Homo-oligomer: A and B are copies of this chain.
Amino acid sequence: MTGSSALFTDQYELTMVDAALADGTAERESLFEAFARRLPAGRRYGVVAGTGRLLELVQRFRFTDAELAWLAAERIVRPTTIDWLADYRFTGDIHGYREGEAYFPGSPLLTIHAGFAEGVMLETIVLSTLNADSSVASAAARMVSVALGRPIAEMGSRRTNEQAAVAAARAAYIAGFAATSNLEAGRRWGVPTMGTAAHSFTLLHDSEAEAFRAQIDTAGVGTTLLIDTYDIEQGVRTAVEVAGTGLGAVRIDSGDLPTVVAAVREQLDALGATGTKITVTSDLDEFTIAALSGAPVDSYGVGTSVVTGSGFPAAGMVYKLVARRGDDGEWVSVAKSSADKVSVGGRKNAARRLDGTRTAREELVFLGDGPGGAPEFDPGDETLRPLLVPLIAAGEVDERYLGAAGTRLAREHHAAVMEELPVEAFRLGRGEAVIPTTYR
């Protein structure tokens, strides 16, 4: 991915930089934090995603002549600020929860330590990536946990913006999905891709048998045949007639699934196609997947619900200035104090407290005044798993988190983290965060 990411930005960030450069506050050492005040209603945990994409976008957050010319022509900022933007690159430090990590209300997901102007400019790009990708990963994780080990493929590209689709496929993969239909997600992030045929392929042909034969001729009998274009029972019979009992799988995309799946399994077995698998793909979400747990389904395909966060298409994360140095060089904790949106100011560190069975029991947030007086906890305390890791140090991105390798790493980390959560985390019904967040 190439090109500048600098205009994926809300205008007010640049006008703030403009004013801060004029009055000498632009360089004030500052600490910003991204966090969620709460989980989506009824959810018991959230899953951080977007971090690897964010790091690449920060690397590309440079104003080239094209961006500068537009900003100058529109008079968004003063000419001296244009010069400053021309030299901009992020030179500060970013710590964050690892991608794939679980999070809870108040978890300090990302801390950005830099001069005010440098840090404030990342607000939109940080929130766009974390909010969108975490929304998908949080929904995907719930689907994976109720699928009981049966693989799920993401196939919702058509239900979201074409670029968001690529990121969504990646986020779902991090949260445990097995594959995606999205080819660009395969190319860019190394997510395994899948997909065989739509109803249009059957309708193109003069008969279902001809369509099945054409597909098998190129894809082999191991392919998945879509058997519900006309009549499901006839479709299954035709599929086995054409492919033989070695047919890889049949896909069902409509109907009352628990009933239909059981009937198709019985029919396949009766026809001798005992090894032929059944995949279902009809408007599934975590609730319908759970409802199919007793049915002989072998795999699932999920579209709309996963790419739209199953009811919560944005994770609700915010980006706040939590501390900055004063003229006297001392750190000052800051927070908006009016009305309904109170934040906790100050530098934070975080650890998850585990009990003797390595089960998570508490999200501990350690408060301090700023990077100078960094709040620490005993790194040798094995009951505390540290949650913040360095992602960018003095402007240099930790490259382990980038690209396909970073995506795989996030997926592995996520799987390990899910093992730690108390079993109540995986209940589908509405509830509170499964562990409390405690400020120390």
Q: Which residues of A come within 8 Å of B, CB atoms?
A: 5, 7-16, 18-20, 22-23, 25, 28, 30, 32, 57, 67, 70-71, 74, 76, 78, 116, 120, 123-125, 127-129, 131-133, 155, 157-168, 181-184, 186-187, 193-201, 203-206, 210, 213-215, 217-219, 228-232, 235, 253-255, 304, 307-309, 313-314, 319-321, 324, 326-327, 334-341
Residues of B within 8 A of A196 (CB): 12, 15
**Are the C-beta atoms of A232 and B338 separated by less than 8 Å?**
yes
Q: How many whole Å from A335's CB to the nearest CB in chain B?
A: 7
Residue of B nearest to A159 (CB): B314
Q: How far is the CA of A167 from the CA of B162 in the complex (A)?
A: 10
Residue of B nearest to A57 (CB): B162
Residues of B within 8 A of A219 (CB): 15, 18-19
**Are the C-beta atoms of A11 and B230 separated by less than 8 Å?**
no
Q: How far is the CA of A338 from the CA of B12 in the complex (A)?
A: 53
Q: Which of B133, B157, B229 contacts A10 (CB 8 A)?
A: B157
| A7-B184, A338-B254 as given contacts; A164 in contact with B164, CB under 8 Å | yes
| A255-B338, A338-B232 as given contacts; A200 in contact with B320, CB under 8 Å | yes
A-B contact pairs, 5 of them (CB 8 A): A8-B157, A11-B181, A18-B219, A159-B313, A232-B339
Q: How many whole Å from A33's CB to the nearest CB in chain B?
A: 11
Q: How many whole Å from A227's CB to the nearest CB in chain B?
A: 9
Q: How many whole Å from A127's CB to the nearest CB in chain B?
A: 4
Residues of B within 8 A of A307 (CB): 314
Q: Which of B13, B19, B203 contacts A334 (CB 8 A)?
A: B203
Q: Which of B199, B217, B255 contacts A23 (CB 8 A)?
A: B217
Residues of B within 8 A of A160 (CB): 128, 131-132, 161, 164, 313-314
**Are the C-beta atoms of B254 and A200 separated by less than 8 Å?**
no
| Sample of 13 more A-B contacts, CB < 8 Å, known A19-B215, A128-B158 | A8-B183, A9-B182, A9-B183, A9-B184, A10-B157, A12-B181, A16-B198, A16-B200, A19-B197, A127-B159, A128-B165, A161-B163, A255-B339
**Are the C-beta atoms of A204 and B321 separated by less than 8 Å?**
yes
**Are the C-beta atoms of B197 and A12 separated by less than 8 Å?**
yes
**Are the C-beta atoms of A131 and B159 separated by less than 8 Å?**
yes
| A18-B218, A159-B314, A183-B14 as given contacts; A336 in contact with B199, CB under 8 Å | yes
| A11-B195, A131-B158, A158-B127 as given contacts; A321 in contact with B254, CB under 8 Å | no
Residues of B within 8 A of A18 (CB): 218-219
**Are the C-beta atoms of B161 and A199 separated by less than 8 Å?**
no
Q: How many whole Å from A245's CB to the nearest CB in chain B?
A: 21
**Are the C-beta atoms of A10 and B206 separated by less than 8 Å?**
no
**Are the C-beta atoms of B78 and A218 separated by less than 8 Å?**
yes
Q: Which of B23, B120, B125, B341 contacts A254 (CB 8 A)?
A: B341
Residues of B within 8 A of A193 (CB): 11, 74, 76
**Are the C-beta atoms of A338 and B231 separated by less than 8 Å?**
yes
Q: Which of B30, B164, B235 contacts A161 (CB 8 A)?
A: B164
Residues of B within 8 A of A159 (CB): 127-128, 131-132, 313-314
**Are the C-beta atoms of B218 and A19 separated by less than 8 Å?**
yes
Residues of B within 8 A of A28 (CB): 204
Residues of B within 8 A of A128 (CB): 157-162, 165
Residue of B nearest to A234 (CB): B338
Q: How far is the CA of A307 from the CA of B128 in the complex (A)?
A: 11
**Are the C-beta atoms of A132 and B164 separated by less than 8 Å?**
yes
Residue of B nearest to A4 (CB): B184
| A19-B215, A22-B214 as given contacts; A158 in contact with B11, CB under 8 Å | no
**Are the C-beta atoms of B254 and A340 separated by less than 8 Å?**
yes
Residues of B within 8 A of A5 (CB): 162
Q: How far is the CA of A22 from the CA of B334 in the complex (A)?
A: 67
Residue of B nearest to A81 (CB): B218
Q: How many whole Å from A327's CB to the nearest CB in chain B?
A: 7
| A162-B128, A183-B11, A314-B308 as given contacts; A198 in contact with B157, CB under 8 Å | no
